[in-house]
Structure 1
Amino acid sequence: MPWLSIPFSDLETKKALNRKFEVEGIPYLIILQPDGSTLHDGVELIYRYGIEAFPFTEEKLEELRREERIKHESQTLTNLLTNPGRDYLLDQTMARKVPVDSLIGKTVGLYFSAQWCFPCAKFTPKLISIYHKIKRSLEGKGGGEDFEIVFVSNDCDQSSFDSYYGTMPWLALPSGDPIIRTLAKYFDVQGIPCLIIIDPDGKTVTKQGRNLINLYQENAYPFTCAKLELLEKEMEEEAKRLPRSNYHAGHRHELTLVSEGNGGGPFICCDCDEQGSGWAYQCLGCGYEVHPRCMRAVDPATAASVQHT
């Protein structure tokens, strides 16, 4: 590192700084301003804006946010996915170049993923299945509406990219393309897998595509607010017909049906390891939660024989 440091042996100072700034995790970058004020989100600012964030004043940050808003307002698929040396995407054979402009007018998912990522390995097969179901549904309706996904690889080398992309039925940005990092910053991708949904006009619909796929499967398409409101209402009606409590094959305690309004909230399903929100079956004693669709009802005696989790 090219900067100064508190001596490794000075534990008291390090502990005092941790307490003063309420540091709960690392990396963590505190910006101390000349006027004595502090900024606690230095890591995020460096990640999003790089050197442009300096001198980290509110005026400078507001200028950067304004520029960011303008970029999003003028966003198109072309300026998202092309660069001066490339105006195409790869297809599954990696031999044919598909013009980015051919996606204009389609709903597009940008899929940030990597072969080395365990959650990606679990989610990708599900996304492939949902992708095919959406495509078949749209083909059956006619009318020219279409859906496509573009793989945005976080793999470390060409071999990993080739192996992983070989399992996918959609398009991809070339491995190592510099625009991949730009897209991750632009959409503030904090982790993978991540599915960003772009509407037919090239504007961002949602950054929560993965969650919506987990919640609603292929019914999430086209991921718009209007569609999600409809699905939420349908889920509320469906929940009225679900048992208030039940025993699950994967847990020994009784599970209670909860929602965000009565003790529930965002969670990771203990059965499928995917994110969820809204309704869930929850163990009020230990916090075990599953999606209602993951619930495998058993009698209490069978549940009692399950190893404690």
Structure 2
Amino acid sequence: VKISDLEGKVIGIYFSANWYPPCRNFNRVLIGVYEQLKSNGSNFEIVFVSSDEDLDAFNSYRENMPWLSIPFSDLETKKALNRKYDVESIPCLVILQPDNTKDDDTYYDGVELIYRYGVDAFPFTKEKLDELRREEKRKHDSQTVTNLLTNPERDYLLDQTITRKVGHSVLSAYTCLFVPVDSLKGKTVGLYLSAQWCMPCVEFTPKLISIYQKIKQALQEKGGGEDFEIVFVSNDRDQSSFESYFGTMPWLALPFRDPTARTLAKYFDVQWIPCLIIIGPDGKTVTKQGRNLINLYQENAYPFTDAKVESLEKEMEEAAKSLPRSEYHAGHRHLLTLVSEGSGGGPFICCDCDEQGSGWAYQCLECGYEVHPRCIRAVTPQSSIEDR
């Protein structure tokens, strides 16, 4: 294809690599958007700039792409494009307008735009994106749990009951019931985007089930009519996987492949799963960081509001005053030092429980080792070496 054939078109310069899972995930989304735009006759083209490590990886990745690419052997052009557009991470999609004469016409956040708006983002002009943002704000301002979770063909969610059949053996059969979406009005609701094929999802789901049950029990004991519910929004690849995964969950679900699932992912700009979005009793979004808050504070995170999180952070600060400034921890040979975000700490993944952490941590700066204060198993220096 001649370069001159691209004149007059909106161009996406796509920096990606086969070896990086987020690239492969985005690639599937981008292919769908690209093919839909091409079928609509849109004046759009993509040029792939590979960050693959060898020709075989490039060819394997490239064979699924319906667009153009810079030859793998053309290292100079690839390096020049990376420098020109200051590419620091992948996937990266740089959008160029046909009359691209100034930097204002270039959008460097094409990945976010595709995830957020899909085909509606085309032709990626400032006017179009401003229009989409105004519409997005209007939707958020008028958001209710009903308009989030219903569509013209469906006003219900799935609930499951377990029917035990006793014969020569005991079997469990899952029967789905229909529950009106309107029954969620006035409740705090978690939208749980997850899938059985996703290992982080499979690992997080049992934890979420435990926290969900503790929150439900605490609210029941408290009385007053306050309630919490979760709705599973499936990203599973087939009906049997959906049924198998949903069968482990004690909450509600959207039907498999319901179009609302994709709408929600775009509306909340969900790029990774598992994702837990919290909707307040008034139907407005409380936070998109429900998963992180569960990992940090367990059931104490409820109702996930800014005020609650601020209160928990203050409690953590107060509790930290009585913690030892340093500890030896079973499983690590070096002395760990207590740090906070203001003294060398920050968001981290606990090396003991693999959950996210924030605020206070015990840290070995030399090894990049960090654990929650609650995960510390204090030992003598000699014991920490032996346990290791």
Relative to the length of structure 1, the TM-score reads 0.95
Please name the residue that 1:152 is paired with.
233
Deviations 1:239-264 (A, max 9, x none): 11111111111222111111110001
Please name the residue that 1:49 is paired with.
117
> Which has the bigger relative contact order, CA under 8 A and spacing at least 6?
1
Pair 1:186 & 2:267 matched = yes
> Computing the radius of gyration over CA atoms, which structure comes out larger, 1 or 2?
2
Task: Read off the aligned partner of 2:84 and give its amino acid letter.
Answer: K
Name whichever of 27-36 and 174-183 sits farther off: 27-36
How many equivalent residue pairs?
A: 307
**Cα distance, 1:8 vs structure 2:** 3.2
**Cα distance, 1:157 vs structure 2:** 0.8
Q: What's the secondary structure of 2:69's corresponding residue?
A: coil
Q: Distance in 2 between matches of 1:7 and 1:263?
A: 44
For residue 66 of structure 1, the aligned residue among 110, 134, 154 is: 134
Task: Read off the aligned partner of 2:113 and give its amino acid letter.
Answer: L
Name whichever of 13-22 and 129-138 sits farther off: 13-22
**Cα distance, 1:80 vs structure 2:** 0.6
Please name the residue that 2:316 is paired with.
235
Q: What's the secondary structure of 2:342's corresponding residue?
A: coil
**Cα distance, 1:2 vs structure 2:** 5.0
Q: Distance in 1 between matches of 2:223 and 2:314?
A: 27
Task: Read off the aligned partner of 1:48 and give its amino acid letter.
Answer: R
Please name the residue that 1:83 is paired with.
151
Q: Distance in 2 between matches of 1:4 and 1:171?
A: 43
Q: Distance in 1 between matches of 2:379 and 2:152?
A: 59
**Cα distance, 1:3 vs structure 2:** 4.2
Percentage of matched positions with identical amino acids: 80
**Structure 2 CA distance for partners of 1:285 and 1:256, relative to 1, 3 Å:** same
Pair 1:168 & 2:249 matched = yes
Task: Read off the aligned partner of 1:74 and give its amino acid letter.
Answer: S
Pairwise mapping of residues 290-301 of structure 1 onto structure 2 (< 5 A)? 290-301=371-382
**Conservation of the 8 A alpha-carbon contact between 2:115 and 2:271:** no
Task: Read off the aligned partner of 1:225 and give its amino acid letter.
Answer: D
**Cα distance, 1:280 vs structure 2:** 0.9
For residue 23 of structure 1, the aligned residue among 87, 90, 93 is: 87
Please name the residue that 2:205 is paired with.
124
Please name the residue that 2:102 is paired with.
36
**Cα distance, 1:306 vs structure 2:** 4.2
Which 4+ residue blocks in structure 1 deviate beyond 3 angstroms?
Answer: 1-5
In structure 2, the gaps of 5 or more residues are 1-64, 162-174
Please name the residue that 2:36 is paired with.
none
**Structure 2 CA distance for partners of 1:151 and 1:26, relative to 1, 3 Å:** same
Please name the residue that 2:14 is paired with.
none
In structure 1, the gaps of 5 or more residues are none
Task: Read off the aligned partner of 2:336 and give its amino acid letter.
Answer: L
Q: Distance in 2 between matches of 1:276 and 1:129?
A: 19
Q: Distance in 2 between matches of 1:296 and 1:62?
A: 53
Q: What's the secondary structure of 1:297's corresponding residue?
A: coil
Relative to the length of structure 2, the TM-score reads 0.76
**Cα distance, 1:20 vs structure 2:** 1.9
Q: Distance in 2 between matches of 1:125 and 1:2?
A: 39
Deviations 1:82-117 (A, max 9, x none): 111111111123421010000000000011111111
For residue 283 of structure 2, the aligned residue among 202, 206, 222 is: 202
Deviations 1:209-251 (A, max 9, x none): 1111111111111111111111111111001111111111122
Q: Distance in 2 between matches of 1:3 and 1:218?
A: 47
For residue 287 of structure 1, the aligned residue among 368, 372, 377 is: 368
**Structure 2 CA distance for partners of 1:129 and 1:3, relative to 1, 3 Å:** closer
**Cα distance, 1:49 vs structure 2:** 1.4
For residue 183 of structure 2, the aligned residue among 88, 96, 102 is: 102
Q: Which structure shows the higher strand fraction? A: 2
**Cα distance, 1:158 vs structure 2:** 1.0
Q: Distance in 2 between matches of 1:125 and 1:136?
A: 17
Deviations 1:239-292 (A, max 9, x none): 111111111112221111111100011111111112111111111211111111
Q: Distance in 1 between matches of 2:378 and 2:231?
A: 38
Task: Read off the aligned partner of 1:111 and give its amino acid letter.
Answer: Y
**Conservation of the 8 A alpha-carbon contact between 2:115 and 2:270:** no
Q: Distance in 2 between matches of 1:255 and 1:70?
A: 49
For residue 7 of structure 1, the aligned residue among 71, 74, 93 is: 71
Q: What's the secondary structure of 2:328's corresponding residue?
A: strand
Task: Read off the aligned partner of 2:381 and give its amino acid letter.
Answer: P
Q: Distance in 1 between matches of 2:274 and 2:110?
A: 25
Name whichever of 123-132 and 16-25 sits farther off: 16-25
**Cα distance, 1:177 vs structure 2:** 1.1
**Cα distance, 1:199 vs structure 2:** 0.3
Please name the residue that 2:30 is paired with.
none
Q: Distance in 1 between matches of 2:238 and 2:188?
A: 29
Q: What's the secondary structure of 2:92's corresponding residue?
A: coil
Q: Distance in 2 between matches of 1:41 and 1:292?
A: 38
